[in-house]
Chains A and B, each alone.
Chain A
Amino acid sequence: MPLFVKARSFLRNLFLSHRVEVDLDQEVHSHLGLLTEENIRAGMSPEEAQRAARIELGGIEQVKEQVREAGLGNWLHSVVSDCRYGLRQLRKNPGATAVMVFTLALAIGATTAIFSVVYGVLLRPLPYTDANRIMAVFEVSSEGHRSHLADPNFDDFRDQNRSFQAIAKYNDDVVSVSGTSQPTRTTIAGVSPEFLKVFGVQPVLGRDFSASDARKGASPTVLVSYGYWRQHLESGQDLPQLHLKIAGALYSVIGVLPPEFRFPKDVDLWLPTDLGGESQSRTSHNYLAVGRLRDGVTVRQANGDISAIARRIHETSSEQGEYLLKDGIVLPLQDSITGEARPALLILLGAVGFLLLVACANVANLLLAQASVRERELAIRSALGAARGRLIRQFLTEAFLLSLVGGGLGVLGALAGVTGLIALAPVNLPRLDSVSVNIPVLLFALLLSTAVAAGLGAFTAIRATSGDLREGLEEGGRGQAGSQGSQRVGRILVAAQIAITLVLVVGAGLLGRSLLKVLEVNPGFRVDRIVTMDVSLPWMEDPQAKASQGIFYSNLIDRLKQIPGVRKVGAVSNLPMEGGLPDGMFFLMTQNEIPNTDAGFAALLQQKERLGNADFGVATDGYFQVLGIPLIRGRLFDEHDGPDSPHVAVISESLARDRWPNQDPIGHTIEFGNMDGDLRLLTIVGIVGDIHDYGLDAPPRPTVYVNLFQRPRAAITVTMLSDADTGSVTSAARGILQDLDPEIPTRFRTFTQVYSASLGSRRFNVILIGSFGITALLLATAGVFGVMAYSVSRRTREIGVRVALGAGSRDVLRMILNQGLRTIFIGVAMGIAGSLALTRTVESLLFGVTATDPLTFGGVTLLLVGAALLACFIPARRATKVDPLVALRYE
């Protein structure tokens, strides 16, 4: 059977190759013998006969090679022999090989590590069924920003849309949970009943929420995460027995969710919203929303649908004003989670791609240099019957060997690199837990290595095998002329390297300068020696209960002041640099102007001169002292400002300036009840300095601070200024809190930690792009050095002749440096042009510098030219040392 015969030939060619070879050799020789005999019979002399036979045969080795090429499975065989030969070549130059493998490993490893972050954060689908059908739904504010949803608006979206098969609202919070072995600060989510349907998730144990669980006044129920159930509920199977005390109320556990389900981020407990009733306000933006599209509905259709509902609300609502939504928007949940991280991550990927290019250029240069040494070998092989394709394949094989070994080592490096990246990554980078070196990342690495191999191999092969190889056999002479072309290519590569490096280093420089500029900003507060302590009491509506929480905090603060070494203690609703304070609209009014109906307030909204806009903070006088926020005028809160005395407020300098220009705000009264439900007027008693609450790179926001002891709230952060070490303060404070209430968990941090976390993204980008830039700089310098050194060694004879004819060492130096300078100049010019075009992409990450910052451009150019010149100088010096006698005798 032909198939059987084929298989047999294939295996024979593969495994009995020696016998096949001998057979072939004998056959060709016997043919030659037969031909000779024939010629002798035709009357030729034996010598003549042999010669004619050889001519007719056309070269024994060529015929054999042609037969081999036709053989089945031979390609495989020749690949093996190519590999063997390639390995021998690579071993012959262990230094160069090690450098190339290391360079490739570094570049492929770095690219793979960055790609694994990009993949995990941006590309990897969310871990839900048909995750691309899950959408985030937002209101669009009057300023055009995405914003949270108000209850009645969400209800309209839910009831009127035709696009979603399930839609749910949710919010999250950190609260104290007890009822387990130890009280914990746990992230909880309030969700509406369809929440799990949106994600297509079912509890692994127990049941999902029903509509009745979410009704006002329903008995409180809770779903728990798998991890929480394992860790804190001892994996109890008997759910009716399980109860949790969440923020002071008792909840029955009704279900356990699957291990992989954690949405929103870090949530362990899901509770129904609205057990206490819904808000009626269309301007209280309390919820986020998610929905699952109906089959066949596109994102665009859903957008049109939601947008129409939102605009209808905008037109018909009685609550006009800047806090009413203007529009609605629907976008894939994944985009909404990762949208903010996208630009920076893509920039990182681009940067590491540049590094890869610089590295490849170095390797290409080394390969070219080796190829030109091998010109003779190539010529011999081609004379012995190797086709050009076969030689190209040899180069490709070698490039593949290099890249695959480099890529393999790179992946090993990436494994470590990814761990490092995760540790280094800023806390606000979403989906970090889905970053790992997984199958798609490995495929990427393989693909990348293959692409690098194909590029490098094809490049060197085409460079090395073009032209008439047979010339290589001719002795001498060609040594210089032939390499002229490959040297020019080498210089072009180096110029490109310099250009790319310049772009990369300029980018790093701009980001670095931005970081420095950010650090120069005076935050408006002190950072060091402050210990912070997060405490959450149960959320209370009842004024009496709230007042008792105020007393609790007052006691706590008084006792904390007693800790040895603690100098000042304060408390605030939200620490600076942690996402800022909530903002809202306040009214300028006096006691007798307070309307007593909603309609009255609605009418006030039309009087623009009465409106003000500010962030709302709850603090104690100690807070300003601990953070060193200066009192500019008036006074801070003091012991006379009790719960029953007139409520007071302290405002920030920028609010005073903007809202009361040319006036003294002290003594004015405002109404800011929509923030905490307390309609009592606030009398402004002091003005304090501005602080950069949203991060150093964001401008300070106008802020109203109210007194914690007059306007108590459930969750606060205590700040302690202390001379003692953090550990002793922490343990003492923990003891005091436990003494006051053992059921309240807490979290301690230093304010320095909080502060430096806020610089995390910036630092991350600077460190990464900076190290890519430095690596590229080193590689490019090595590239310049390599090409110049090679050129000098190739021109030894020429230099010798020049010296013999009277050229001084200065002339030689100038000649070599000139040659290098031209390359450097071209590279720098291209690099500056490239940077001008590309730095625009990092504009969004810059602070205090423009994308064309002359100082950065100038400095980086100088640095690069300096490094490159140094790299030229060493070979140039060596050129001046050429001894004409030695040089001319050489070869």
Chain B
Amino acid sequence: MSPEPTSLLQGTLDLLILKSLIAGEMHGLGISRRIQQITGGTFVVKPGSLFPALHRMEEEGWISSFWGESENNRRAKYYRLCKAGLKQLEVETERWGRISWAIAQALEVS
């Protein structure tokens, strides 16, 4: 079964979450801050979008979760990338590349 492409906006969020998890397992706030960091502060993901996306992606089998301790000994739910998630990241990356190229092309034509 090949991973199905998701809709543009949702796909972008998924891509960012998957990308940030490449660096290793992380809790929700960590992912949120990581996205903020890697996008140079352009994307601020609110919990209202983040958590539904995380749960959905977990149900898709792209990521898995476990309870762990935060740096300050606070119990937090951590997420890590699964094999399927890695594959999905490739698909989404490739797709994003295509889209951004296409849009760049479109904007160049005056």
**Is there an interface contact between B46 and A5, defined as CB atoms closer than 8 Å?**
no
Given contacts A2-B1, A3-B1, contact A67 B61 (CB under 8 A): no
**Is there an interface contact between B46 and A56, defined as CB atoms closer than 8 Å?**
yes
- In the complex, which residues of chain B have a beta carbon less than 8 angstroms from the beta carbon of A23? 77
- In the complex, which residues of chain B have a beta carbon less than 8 angstroms from the beta carbon of A27? 28, 51, 76-77
- Chain A interface, number of residues (Cβ within 8 angstroms): 31
**Is there an interface contact between A66 and B48, defined as CB atoms closer than 8 Å?**
yes
CA distance A700 to B37 in the complex (A): 101
The distance from the CB of A736 to the nearest CB of chain B, in whole angstroms, is 89
List 12 extra interface pairs beyond A28-B51, A31-B51, A70-B56, CB under 8 A: A6-B60, A27-B28, A30-B27, A31-B28, A34-B70, A35-B29, A58-B48, A63-B48, A66-B52, A67-B51, A71-B55, A72-B56
The distance from the CB of B28 to the nearest CB of chain A, in whole angstroms, is 5
**Is there an interface contact between A34 and B29, defined as CB atoms closer than 8 Å?**
yes
B60-110 contacts to A (CB < 8 Å): 60-62, 70, 72, 74-77, 84
**Is there an interface contact between B61 and A1, defined as CB atoms closer than 8 Å?**
yes
The distance from the CB of A2 to the nearest CB of chain B, in whole angstroms, is 4
Q: Does A728 contact B (CB under 8 A)?
A: no
Q: Which of A2, A34, A57 contacts B60 (CB 8 A)?
A: A2
A1-32 contacts to B (CB < 8 Å): 1-6, 9-10, 23-24, 26-28, 30-31
**Is there an interface contact between A9 and B27, defined as CB atoms closer than 8 Å?**
no
CA distance A256 to B62 in the complex (A): 70
Of all chain A residues, the one with the shortest Cβ separation from B87 is A2
- In the complex, which residues of chain B have a beta carbon less than 8 angstroms from the beta carbon of A62? 48
The 7 closest A-B pairs by CB, nearest first: A5-B61, A2-B61, A70-B52, A9-B59, A34-B29, A27-B77, A72-B59
Residues on B facing A (Cβ under 8 Å): 1, 3, 27-29, 46-49, 51-53, 55-56, 58-62, 70, 72, 74-77, 84
Of all chain A residues, the one with the shortest Cβ separation from B59 is A9
- Would you give the 0/1 interface string for A40-71, flagging 1 where the beta carbon is closer than 8 Å to chain B? 00000000000000001110001100110111
Residues on A facing B (Cβ under 8 Å): 1-6, 9-10, 23-24, 26-28, 30-31, 33-35, 37-38, 56-58, 62-63, 66-67, 69-72
The winner among B46, B47, B52 for most chain A CB atoms within 10 A is: B47
The distance from the CB of A740 to the nearest CB of chain B, in whole angstroms, is 89
CA distance A28 to B51 in the complex (A): 9
- In the complex, which residues of chain A have a beta carbon less than 8 angstroms from the beta carbon of B62? 2
Of all chain A residues, the one with the shortest Cβ separation from B44 is A56
CA distance A1 to B58 in the complex (A): 12
CA distance A6 to B84 in the complex (A): 12
The winner among A31, A56, A71 for most chain B CB atoms within 10 A is: A31
Task: List, sorted by A's number, 7 A–B pairs whose CB atoms are closer than 8 Å.
Answer: A4-B61, A9-B58, A26-B77, A27-B51, A30-B76, A66-B48, A70-B52
Q: Which of B3, B27, B53, B55 contacts A34 (CB 8 A)?
A: B27
**Is there an interface contact between B61 and A31, defined as CB atoms closer than 8 Å?**
no
The distance from the CB of A26 to the nearest CB of chain B, in whole angstroms, is 7
Of all chain B residues, the one with the shortest Cβ separation from A27 is B77
Of all chain B residues, the one with the shortest Cβ separation from A64 is B51
**Is there an interface contact between A31 and B29, defined as CB atoms closer than 8 Å?**
yes
- In the complex, which residues of chain B have a beta carbon less than 8 angstroms from the beta carbon of A2? 1, 3, 60-62, 84
The distance from the CB of A726 to the nearest CB of chain B, in whole angstroms, is 80
Given contacts A9-B59, A35-B29, A71-B55, contact A57 B47 (CB under 8 A): yes
Q: Which of A5, A24, A30 contacts B75 (CB 8 A)?
A: A30
CA distance A63 to B58 in the complex (A): 17
Given contacts A1-B61, A72-B59, contact A30 B74 (CB under 8 A): yes
CA distance A655 to B52 in the complex (A): 92
**Is there an interface contact between A26 and B75, defined as CB atoms closer than 8 Å?**
yes
CA distance A5 to B72 in the complex (A): 32
- In the complex, which residues of chain B have a beta carbon less than 8 angstroms from the beta carbon of A58? 46-48
- In the complex, which residues of chain B have a beta carbon less than 8 angstroms from the beta carbon of A66? 48-49, 51-52
Given contacts A30-B75, A34-B70, A37-B72, contact A5 B60 (CB under 8 A): yes
**Is there an interface contact between A56 and B47, defined as CB atoms closer than 8 Å?**
yes
- In the complex, which residues of chain A have a beta carbon less than 8 angstroms from the beta carbon of B47? 28, 31, 56-58, 63
CA distance A711 to B110 in the complex (A): 107
The distance from the CB of A727 to the nearest CB of chain B, in whole angstroms, is 80
CA distance A854 to B76 in the complex (A): 82
**Is there an interface contact between A34 and B59, defined as CB atoms closer than 8 Å?**
no
The distance from the CB of B91 to the nearest CB of chain A, in whole angstroms, is 13
CA distance A57 to B53 in the complex (A): 15
- In the complex, which residues of chain A have a beta carbon less than 8 angstroms from the beta carbon of B55? 24, 67, 70-71
- In the complex, which residues of chain A have a beta carbon less than 8 angstroms from the beta carbon of B29? 31, 34-35, 38
CA distance A2 to B28 in the complex (A): 22
CA distance A31 to B47 in the complex (A): 9
Of all chain A residues, the one with the shortest Cβ separation from B85 is A2
CA distance A10 to B3 in the complex (A): 19
The distance from the CB of A609 to the nearest CB of chain B, in whole angstroms, is 91
**Is there an interface contact between A34 and B61, defined as CB atoms closer than 8 Å?**
no
- In the complex, which residues of chain B have a beta carbon less than 8 angstroms from the beta carbon of A67? 51-52, 55
The distance from the CB of A317 to the nearest CB of chain B, in whole angstroms, is 76
- In the complex, which residues of chain A have a beta carbon less than 8 angstroms from the beta carbon of B76? 27, 30-31, 34
CA distance A567 to B109 in the complex (A): 112
**Is there an interface contact between B59 and A6, defined as CB atoms closer than 8 Å?**
yes
Of all chain A residues, the one with the shortest Cβ separation from B56 is A70
- In the complex, which residues of chain B have a beta carbon less than 8 angstroms from the beta carbon of A24? 55
CA distance A33 to B59 in the complex (A): 25
CA distance A2 to B64 in the complex (A): 11
- In the complex, which residues of chain B have a beta carbon less than 8 angstroms from the beta carbon of A1? 61
- In the complex, which residues of chain B have a beta carbon less than 8 angstroms from the beta carbon of A9? 58-59
Given contacts A31-B29, A37-B72, contact A6 B48 (CB under 8 A): no
The distance from the CB of A314 to the nearest CB of chain B, in whole angstroms, is 72
CA distance A35 to B28 in the complex (A): 10
**Is there an interface contact between B51 and A34, defined as CB atoms closer than 8 Å?**
no
CA distance A155 to B76 in the complex (A): 95
Of all chain A residues, the one with the shortest Cβ separation from B76 is A30
- In the complex, which residues of chain B have a beta carbon less than 8 angstroms from the beta carbon of A38? 29
CA distance A66 to B47 in the complex (A): 10
CA distance A31 to B76 in the complex (A): 7
CA distance A738 to B107 in the complex (A): 108
- In the complex, which residues of chain A have a beta carbon less than 8 angstroms from the beta carbon of B75? 26, 30
The distance from the CB of B77 to the nearest CB of chain A, in whole angstroms, is 5
